[in-house]
Copies of this chain bind each other. A is one copy, B any other.
Amino acid sequence: MDSHKRAKILKAAIKIFARDGFFNAKVEEIAKEAGVATGTTYLYFDNKDDILISIFEEEMIPIIETMRNAISKKATAREKIIEIITCHLKMMQEKADMGQLLELELRQSSKFIHGYQGTRFKEYLDIMGETLAVGQESGEFRNDIHPVIFKQILFGALDQISMNWSLSKSRKIDLHLSADQIAAVLLDGIEKKGK
């Protein structure tokens, strides 16, 4: 089995799913984009669902790896959180199609695509929770915030920001500014301090 061909199909599927959405995307279109025949798709994937799930599971691996790497190089928990934010938004720019899949299709999938649990995505989210915990243990962060809730707040904020950026055609929004602001709000809050 030509593993190169499998990769080409996955890459094509990311593009087509991002452009048309999972339900509007046609397997024939994915195959054409990948430069293979329709039937070839079914040599590497069970069905259309399986293509999407494979994308989520397999493409998340290097993304998770990259983020873990970036975090590990930072000394303080504060810097790690900033790195998570930067890393996520950078990934969204560099892998724009994959980013849109995460934003637009991942949610649907875990509910409507039979049997998909989204394990890799959970792993990605968990990095955010773990980083909070690290900071709590080191005394950098307050202890009354639950990692399980915080990871959702952080991911939710990042996801909304990047979705908004993806959907705006011009993309004139400055993601660096957004990164700074997310960091500012979550780390320090919006209230004025020390009056």
Contacts and interface: CB of A to CB of B under 8 A. Distances in A.
A37 B83 CA distance: 53
Copies of this chain in its oligomeric complex: 4
Nearest to A20: B112
The secondary-structure label for the interface of chain A is helix
A192 B142 contact: yes
Contact of A152 (B103, B112, B161, B194): B161
A18 B158 CA distance: 25
Interface string A174-195: 0001100110111111111110
Contact of A108 (B81, B108, B182, B185): B108
A145 B161 CA distance: 14
Interface of A: 20-21, 23-24, 78, 81, 103-104, 107-108, 110-112, 132, 135, 139-142, 144-146, 149-150, 152-161, 163-164, 167, 177-178, 181-182, 184-194
A14 to B, nearest CB: 16
Nearest to A160: B156
Nearest to A78: B191
Contacts of A189: 184-190
